[in-house]
Chains A and B, each alone.
Chain A
């Protein structure tokens, strides 16, 4: 990750703030339902936003059948997300466009690090008993340490959902604090697994606690819950990030993950960030898409922008 000057150091747990949180679900839904109709970009602007979406992607493989070969293929795509002829025709060679990061399981970190050697693309590793977060704390901490030792520059931790569901904010705070310490210089993205949480209010509260505990990013989902990154979760978390910034002056990034596979969705997410948090959250330093199949659609849409013709999927190189 390119350096953002100040990481969120966290704050003491402010329980009064956490418990006073209010989120009105139906109003949140109204906002997210109307946003795609309120904001859109066309033509050159759309193409530029697509390119931006690529630069903010955490190109991800988190499957039980991951192999070193699979990871190498993904890393190759991360280095060169667009076909060279498209880069040339778009005239964006100077961007040296890559994705934001490659995201893998801890056991695949070494493989990814070596496959990305010579680039600035960071390797992100999930950790802490991903996806459920229900292994003993000792092991979860060890997992973080191992991933960092193997060269991961970003660690995507998962929270123990029961701590959120039961409102045990102190326990949640303490654990995330320890994970943050274990991360050292690696940036920590905290996955709230919002699809497992009971209410949007809990999503907001968990966001606050995760930020107080020093998260660099908060992230919606593991991709394994039945509901992944919805705009409602995104809006609530973005508002929490804004409130935290206003209250503490600390900047925290955001990563929606899971279920974002279409270029059009990517535009809405970028618009959500621009509207709720501002242009600073349209950079990979503060915004990432956790996605595996989004890239192909972005390529196809860019191809259409270039040529006016709709592209075939099999013309785009696999990641």
Chain B
């Protein structure tokens, strides 16, 4: 077009970003990039190579190594060697290293951005204005935590060597989220970028080496999913961090089960975008653009489920369609496009198949009449209406530029629809009514909630999911704990790899013993402890009982032999306690504290009786029993104290407004108690859980459950609402099996055998519930760190970050 033609048409023209430096970088490496281990390029002899293409035009960019077991060993060995000195390097020194990395990222900002867009297909605007600035920001922010670790996190130590596997949608940003906290906390890493997008991680590694990071602290290993699997399985790895699909997350959960490796997972989502009638609708439309047409919709937290109040639904959809017509899709290196290319042909096909599914389900598909490049993997922005919560396209993650839209009638219905999903990564809420917006934000089950904004990210606020969107947080102080272990704790390392055993948890109900349960002299009235479910004493569903013997084999009592139905009932009761008005988690911390203090008061009133019970049951001395009961009282006081002091904090993000991190309860927690210190362990575990608003299904010590059945009488007299703490006695692993397989349980804490720990972690993958297990290792429940350290509160809560921009 010539000048006059453009003057008349006022069209946009091409606005290309130069790729000359990125091409030169690839050329300098002969378009054949090695692994980056020990700050050196490694080209293994006879290695297989994998070709990277530019998804916008199909051009070959470079080849990268397909790492094999040998290179995985080499990288892990490098990281292990470096870990020894890096963990001992003083925090302030590590801080300066991270600071140098941040600065060096900024010095190579444009090259990183251009290469990222070439490799991934995302618009240069995003890589330049969002991804790379956040990359630098994460290293700045975590430099600060390295500086402060010795004082602020004195009870913690580094985990060791971390294996990190990242996805292709934000290669650099995900790398930042993984590497920055890990190395700040004194760990070393082996990072495997996604198969589709390997180049920017290698460039980053070179930039890090240029910034003077010691060899072996950050190693980048390219390869297939097989290499990823080898990395995860490697015995030298102490922790695995993964971002990607829920399906792969499930596999990794099973794969690492019982190994003692820490695991954090950031998985899929189908995040709701809720628009109320009193929202600024034009701004909410822009929000939708940023929610679902950001990075071609290939965003785990994409606001892909639009929920609009029915009375403004038609208006809103009209506005949205008009806006979609203004979107520009094209060359990712064009500075004036909104959407680039889909990362790979297979992904493009998947997206298109989902849209066809939507059509088959009766959905109305709208795609604006806009120009798409003839070649390259471009997909138009797509809106599907006339869909319902029962539609597959509403339930499943599409991971492309496809939005589904539904209406709702009331705030309550909006909430119900928003939470009607297996996922819980993020949500966006639009309303000019602060009461409404914050109420909905607090009740949506998701790790990030954006009020009148969307897709806000910052290093100072943790990002991560509820439910099947995974666990662990990346960013914020909350994210650091994924890379830390309590100072007292050694890396749990089960001696032998554990195999899945079908018979685990199998149990034949108990039969009568030869020991008399009644004696006119010593036991003049029969006592039959029951289950404690929903605030009521109930007989075991199976109507079986088990005898409890002291260590010498003397009969000391009987308890119900619980089965899966007792667990089922207890879980229902635990949920009912959340639904009660007020639900347990909605009560004020003050109220929960009062109840815990009252529990302590009533336990103390029966101090001697509990001591006698412990002596008779466990054979401990009276003095030891007194110490244990005293410690229980102390624990109750401690968690009464924490009941109103762990609500969260203000995050200092880059948002103009407030970002609040809320330590929300996890929900329903199943707890399997150990046999050591049967009363103290029970109280140490149950008290933090209920103090922080969870409800609990508790399996007391299998050998010594009578103190638990005594304890429910204390619960009864202490105003603990029914269903908050449910007690099911019986065989620990048998009951645990039902708990861990229960898909409406949010977390299971298991303090039993190494095999049981394996089973719990393995089976938790059914609904990706959180787990906390001991790998068969004992802990000293009397020790203040081991018995009531910060990790108890950490396990009892999940962090939600609510972003509220301000300004009128």
Contact = CB atoms under 8 A, between A and B. Distances in A.
Q: Do A and B bind each other?
A: yes
Interface of A: 22-31, 34, 37-45, 47-49, 51-52, 90-92, 94-95, 199-201, 239, 270, 274-275, 279, 282
A91 B4 CA distance: 8
A91 B7 CA distance: 12
Interface residues of B, number: 42
A22 B805 contact: no
Contacts of B336: 38-41
Contact of A27 (B9, B14, B453): B453
B10 A27 contact: no
Contacts of A26: 452-453, 656-657, 805-807
Contacts of B128: 37
A219 to B, nearest CB: 20
B338 A44 contact: no
Interface in B273-312: 278-284, 286-287, 290
A42 B432 contact: no
Given A41-B15, A49-B10, A25 B4 contact: no
A30 B14 contact: no
B657 A45 contact: no
A239 B129 CA distance: 26
11 contacts: A24-B452, A29-B807, A34-B129, A41-B15, A42-B15, A43-B13, A48-B4, A49-B6, A201-B808, A279-B9, A279-B10
Given A38-B125, A38-B336, A91-B4, A24 B10 contact: no
Interface string B232-263: 00000000000000000000000000000000
B4 A92 contact: yes
B334 to A, nearest CB: 9
Given A22-B279, A24-B452, A44 B3 contact: yes
Contacts of B3: 44, 47-48, 51, 90-92
Contacts of B14: 42
Contacts of B656: 26, 29
Nearest to A278: B326
A30 B453 contact: yes
Given A42-B13, A275-B326, A31 B4 contact: no
B1 interface: yes
B2 interface: yes
Interface string B444-459: 0000000011000000
Contacts of A201: 808
Contacts of B326: 275
A301 B234 CA distance: 61
Nearest to B14: A42
B11 interface: yes
Given A51-B3, A91-B3, A92-B3, A41 B287 contact: no
Given A47-B6, A279-B10, 5 more contacts: A28-B283, A29-B656, A34-B129, A40-B335, A91-B2
B517 to A, nearest CB: 70
A52 B3 CA distance: 11
Contact of A25 (B13, B287, B808): B808
Nearest to A90: B3
Counting chain A CB atoms within 10 Å of each CB, the highest count among B3, B11, B13, B806 belongs to B3
Contact of B13 (A45, A51, A199): A45
A29 B326 CA distance: 19
Counting chain A CB atoms within 10 Å of each CB, the highest count among B7, B15, B338, B805 belongs to B7
A49 B7 CA distance: 7
B7 A95 contact: yes
B282 A239 contact: yes
A44 B6 contact: yes
Contacts of B279: 22, 24
A47 B7 CA distance: 9
A48 B432 contact: no
Contact of A44 (B1, B129, B281, B453): B1
Contact of A22 (B280, B657, B806): B280
Counting chain B CB atoms within 10 Å of each CB, the highest count among A24, A28, A43, A44 belongs to A24
Nearest to A43: B13
A49 B5 CA distance: 11
A275 B287 CA distance: 15
A48 B125 contact: no
A52 B12 CA distance: 13
B432 A24 contact: yes
A105 to B, nearest CB: 32
Counting chain A CB atoms within 10 Å of each CB, the highest count among B5, B16, B129, B280 belongs to B280
Nearest to B337: A38
Counting chain A CB atoms within 10 Å of each CB, the highest count among B278, B283, B284, B326 belongs to B283
Contact of A37 (B4, B13, B125): B125
Contacts of B807: 25-26, 29
A275 B12 CA distance: 11
A284 B9 CA distance: 14
Given A39-B336, A92-B7, A95-B7, A24 B283 contact: yes
Contact of B283 (A27, A49, A94): A27
Contacts of B12: 39, 41, 45
B7 A41 contact: no
Nearest to A239: B282
B6 to A, nearest CB: 4
A41 B328 CA distance: 13
B283 A31 contact: yes
Nearest to B124: A37
A95 B6 CA distance: 12
Contacts of B2: 44, 91
Contacts of B6: 44-45, 47-49
A265 to B, nearest CB: 17
B808 A199 contact: yes
B286 A22 contact: no
A270 B287 CA distance: 22
A47 B283 CA distance: 31
B15 A274 contact: no
Contacts of A279: 9-10
A201 B283 CA distance: 13
B335 A45 contact: no
Q: Which 10 A-B residue pairs are closest in the complex by CB-CB distance?
A: A45-B13, A27-B283, A26-B805, A48-B6, A24-B280, A22-B280, A25-B807, A48-B7, A282-B10, A42-B15
Contacts of A29: 656, 807
Contacts of B287: 27
A39 B290 CA distance: 15
Contacts of B125: 37-38
B85 to A, nearest CB: 42
A239 B282 CA distance: 7
Interface in B124-160: 125, 128-129
Nearest to A97: B7
A22 B808 CA distance: 11
Given A39-B336, A45-B11, A201-B808, A27 B4 contact: no
Contacts of B657: 26
B432 A22 contact: yes
A274 B565 CA distance: 64
B4 A94 contact: yes
A155 B366 CA distance: 44
B7 A27 contact: no
Contacts of A38: 125, 336, 338
Given A48-B10, A282-B10, A27 B280 contact: yes
Nearest to A30: B453
A23 B283 CA distance: 8
A49 to B, nearest CB: 7
A92 B656 CA distance: 47
Contacts of B432: 22, 24
Given A23-B280, A48-B7, A90-B3, A40 B15 contact: yes
Contacts of A23: 280, 283
B596 to A, nearest CB: 40
A30 B450 CA distance: 14
A259 to B, nearest CB: 21
Contacts of B453: 26-27, 30
